[in-house]
Structure 1
Amino acid sequence: MTTDATAADTVRRGKNRLNESEDEVLARIEAFRRRRPRLIDEVITLAHGAGGKASAALVDAVFFEAFGSPTPGDPGDAAVLERPAGRIAMTTDSYVVNPIRFPGGSIGDLAVNGTVNDLAVSGAVPTALTAAFVIEEGLPVQTLREIAADMRAAADAAGVAIVAGDTKVVPRGAADELFITTAGVGVLPEGRRLGADLVEPGDRILVSGAIGAHGMAVMLARGNLAIDAEISSDSRAVNGLVEALLDAAPRTRWMRDATRGGLGTVLNELVHASGHGVIVDDEAVPVAPVVRGACDMLGIDPLYVANEGMFAAVVPAEVADAGLAALRTLPGGESAAIIGEVVASPSDIVAVRNAFGGTRIVDMLVGDPLPRIC
Structure 2
Amino acid sequence: MKEFVLEELELATENFSVTKVIGKGSHGVVYKGILNGQSVAIKKQSLGLQMLKDNSKLEKEAQILSLLRRNSCFIDLLGISHDSFNNKILVTEFMSNGNLHDALHLSSKFLMWPKRVEIALQVARAVRFLHQSKPSIVHRDIKSSNILLDANWNAKLADFGLSIRLNSDQELNIPAGTIGYLDPDYTTPSKLSTKIDIFSYGVVLLELISGRKVIDVDRSPASVVEWAIPLIDRGQRIKVCDERVQLPRYMEDTVEQLLSLASRCVLPRENLRPSMDEIVDILDNFVVVRFSSLMSNCLWDVILNMRRRKILCVTKCKATDKVTCSGADHNRGSVRGGDNLSNGTLLQVGEILADIKLK
TM-score by length of 2: 0.25
**Relative contact order higher in (CA < 8 Å, ≥ 6 apart):** 1
TM-score by length of 1: 0.24
Specify which structure has the higher proportion of strand.
1
Specify which structure has the higher proportion of helix.
2
